[in-house]
Structure 1
Amino acid sequence: MRQTTVVDIDAFTAVHAAEWDRLRELSARRRLDGAESDELVRLYQSVATHLSTVRSAAPDPALVTRLSDVLNRARTRIAGAHEPAWREVTRFATVSLPAAFYRIRWWSHAVTAACLLVALVAGVHVATSPEALAALMTPAEQEEYVNEAFASYYDPGIGFAGVVWTNNARVAALSVAGGITGFFTLFVLYQNAASVGAIGGMMAAHDELDLFLTLITPHGLLELTCIFVAGAAGLRLFWTIIDPGHRKRSVALAAEGRALITTVIGLAVALGVSGLVEGFVTGSELYWWLKIVIGALVLAAFWAYVYVLGRRAVRAGATGDLAEHESGATVVTAG
């Protein structure tokens, strides 16, 4: 016949209350030395046994609640409480994001050089070839665009900045998303570079190259850089499929894909800044040289952010990927 053990709650509490109080005290401390940490774990295990005993032999609600509260506090202290959301945001902005940008910096510079070359070739071709110039627009359309439409496009205001941001974000997203194919990203980059170059060539053919550069430079420095970085991120993803390195292809692709999400978020913010510059600086009444200085400072701030914080983050082991506890553990494989 099964026997039920009866526990005297008052006596049980009198014997173990000191341990419970000590566990609560250690759980509340901000700092623990090695001996105190070991004591905290030992007491946690003991009190967990006490709670089990009370629940099975003398389920006193008040005591169960008391011990559960002590154990919850101790468990949080041992396992570590979740950091406040603002710390996660700070870590993302100062570690994960600059690391993601820094890791693709050479890809970004290579894409920038290639796109500038395409734009230059397209611009020179349109400016020097009557056939290429005529293929863009009719003479009447060219006159209207050069003399009115191009300058009037830059209408200062938050609404215009929002439209610009949406359009640029779409181009960047296409460049990134197309990375899985590689070819689509190259197509988007080529089309964008050739289009900008052709417009510049048409403006030059009508002796308005200075107007073109004055209006496109303030915001274009950062805006086009973001497009180039987006393309670099997409191409880096494609290259991971070809050459995953020492990792399994699926593992490498997953890691680069997660880092790509980090890059996209950062580019959305950067494009928002360029949109504000385009909406409030490019079309403003400021001196043209001041507009260009503002654009140059914004671009310099972007690359300083990438190289200063990014280099430090990468040297510390950051990649722009999620932390292991967020992305899941990776199975180690040989070969």
Structure 2
Amino acid sequence: MDLDAFTTVHSPAWERLAVLVGRRRLDGAEADELVRLYQEVATHLSTVRSAAPDPVLVTRLSDLLGRARTRISGAHEPAWSDVVRYAVVAVPAALYRIRWWTLAVTVGFLLVSVVVGVHVATDPDALAAMGTPEQRRQYVDEAFASYYDPGASFAALVWTNNAWVAAQAVAFGVTGVWPVVALVQNAVSVGATGGMMASYGELGTFLTLIAPHGQLELTSVFVAGAAGLKTFWTLVDPGPRRRAVALAQEGRALVTVAVGLVGALAVVGAIEGFVTGSGLPWWLKIVLGTLALTAFWLYVLVLGRRAVHAGETGDLDMERAGAVLPTAA
């Protein structure tokens, strides 16, 4: 095939297609012409590729067809309605579906923390393992309270750190090990610190500094751990679905959990940065933390229950997730 002659003959059609693609508005006749030229140029590209695969011309026609295809089919641009729907339907649905996993993680975490705390507070050897008497006294009298230095930078640090921990719990949850190890380590740390504070008569200080932000913070950690363990259990027991399909569906839904926790942990960072270490009365700090936790669970239980009953799972819709091979139950 004579490529120069081919180009000379068909260039008017290519140029006309480029003109139509570049116009902001098309009338009915022009829209029909756009579709016709798209099909014609697609044939031209196929001919060039098979008979005279010139890379420059192939690139030119491929780009032109790509822009024409976008103009014909319409590019999807995320709208505010999509964002709102994600926030009030997908995220609460994903959180609601793991509510019992979250409860189980919460009970286990608190049980370990209390046992460790009582052990450190009542066993001199366990208390001695927390450091020398001077180190323990300095921590109880100064370090623990001074950690909560109010300010925007501290709030941002708390938020990013907690969000990273939550994302890891979800991402590595499929191993079945990382969430358990992380949760046990955190439970032991919280319990040991509380036990040491109690042994010096400062349990009240510990609780009043932990309670404002800790209620929602620990709940977020519990949710992240539950999401990770749910992913692992899906790998072990996929139910009637094929294992790969089940894991993909649950994995996408539980990534939605991580996205939702980013918002919750942003609230935690604000409370820890501006409320916990502030000069507000201790009871007001705890009330603010309790209100934040209550709002979170109302969001999950009210919106999530409604979404799940409507058939939502927190997974992507079929258009974005791709087709799934039907499987007999």
Normalising by the residue count of structure 1, what TM-score does the alignment of the two structures yield? 0.77
Pick from 136, 146, 151: which aligns with 1:142? 136
Q: What's the RMSD between the two structures over aligned residues? A: 2.6
One of 301, 310, 314 as aligned partner of 1:316: 310
2:244 is aligned to 250
Query: Can you list the C-alpha shifts for 1:188-247, whole angstroms capped at 9, x where unaligned?
Result: 000001100110000000000000000000000000000000000000000001110110
Cα distance in 2, alignment partners of residues 149 and 169 from structure 1: 24
Q: For 1:147 and 1:95, how far apart are their aligned partners in 2?
A: 46
In the alignment, is residue 209 of structure 1 matched against residue 203 of structure 2? yes
Structure 1 residues 278, 51: closer, same or farther in 2, change over 3 A?
closer
Task: Decide whether the 8 Å contact of 1:259 with 1:321 is kept in 2.
Answer: yes
Report Cα offsets for 1:55-104 as digits up to 9, x if no partner: 99xxxxxxxxxxxxxxx9x977xxx9847521111011010000000000
Q: Distance in 2 between matches of 1:204 and 1:49?
A: 81
Q: Hey, which bits of structure 1, 4+ residues long, moved more than 4 A?
A: 47-53, 80-84
The structural deviation recorded for 1:317 is 0.9
State which of 181, 190, 201 in structure 2 corresponds to 1:196. Answer: 190
Contact 1:174/1:188 (CA < 8 Å) preserved in 2?
no
**Which amino acid counterpart does residue 90 of structure 2 have in structure 1?**
S
Runs of at least 5 residues in structure 1 that lack an aligned partner in the other structure: 1-22, 26-42, 57-71
Task: Work out the CA distance in 1 between the residues paired with 2:210 and 2:99.
Answer: 24
Q: Aligned ranges for residues 13-52 of structure 1 at < 5 Å?
A: 48=32, 52=36
The 1:150/1:328 distance shift into structure 2, 3 A limit, reads same
Q: What is the alpha-carbon distance in structure 2 between the residues aligned to residue 81 and residue 94 of structure 1?
A: 25
Gaps in structure 2 of 5+ consecutive residues: 1-25, 41-68
Rg larger in structure: 1
For 1:287 and 1:334, locate their aligned partners in 2 and report how far apart those are by CA, in whole Å. 60
Q: Secondary structure at the match of 1:319?
A: coil
Q: Which amino acid in 2 is paired with 1:264?
A: A
Q: Structure 2 CA distance, aligned partners of 1:51 and 1:298?
A: 54
| 1:111-122 → structure 2 map (5 Å cutoff) | 111-122=105-116
CA distance in 1, matches of 2:304, 2:130: 42
Q: CA deviation at 1:172?
A: 1.8
Distance 2:147 2:34 in 1: 75
Q: Does 1:90 align with 2:84?
A: yes
Residue 292 of structure 1 corresponds to 286
Counting only pairs closer than 5 Å after superposition, residues 131-280 of structure 1 correspond to structure 2 as 131-280=125-274
Give me the whole-angstrom Cα distance separating, in 1, the residues matched to 2:90 and 2:211: 29
TM-score, length basis structure 2: 0.78
Kept in 2, the 8 Å contact 1:175–1:189? The answer is: no
Range with greater deviation from structure 2 (85-94 or 226-235): 85-94
Q: CA deviation at 1:314?
A: 0.6
Q: Write the distance in 2 (CA, Å) between the matches of 1:102 and 1:50.
A: 48
CA 1:50 to 1:266, structure 2 compared with 1: closer, same or farther past 3 Å? closer
Q: Indicate the percent of aligned positions where both proteins have the same amino acid.
A: 61
Bigger CA drift: 220-229 or 164-173? 164-173
> 2-side partners of 1:50 and 1:322: how far apart?
33
Q: CA deviation at 1:136?
A: 1.3
How big is the shift at 1:180? 1.1
Q: Tell whether the 8 Å contact from 1:258 to 1:322 is kept in structure 2 after alignment.
A: yes
> Residues of 2 paired with 1:177 and 1:328: CA distance?
21
Q: 1:83 to 1:171 in 2, by over 3 A?
A: closer
Q: Tell me, yes or no, if structure 1 residue 332 matches structure 2 residue 307.
A: no
Are 2:240 and 2:327, in contact at CA under 8 Å, matched by a contact in 1? no
Does residue 128 (structure 1) correspond to residue 134 (structure 2)? The answer is no
Q: How far has the Cα of 1:166 moved from its partner?
A: 2.3
> What is the CA–CA distance in structure 1 between the aligned matches of 2:176 and 2:249, rounded to whole Å?
17
Q: Distance in 2 between matches of 1:201 and 1:207?
A: 10
Is residue 35–residue 72 contact of structure 2 (8 Å, CA) maintained in 1?
Answer: no
Count of matched residue positions in the alignment of Structure 1 and Structure 2: 276
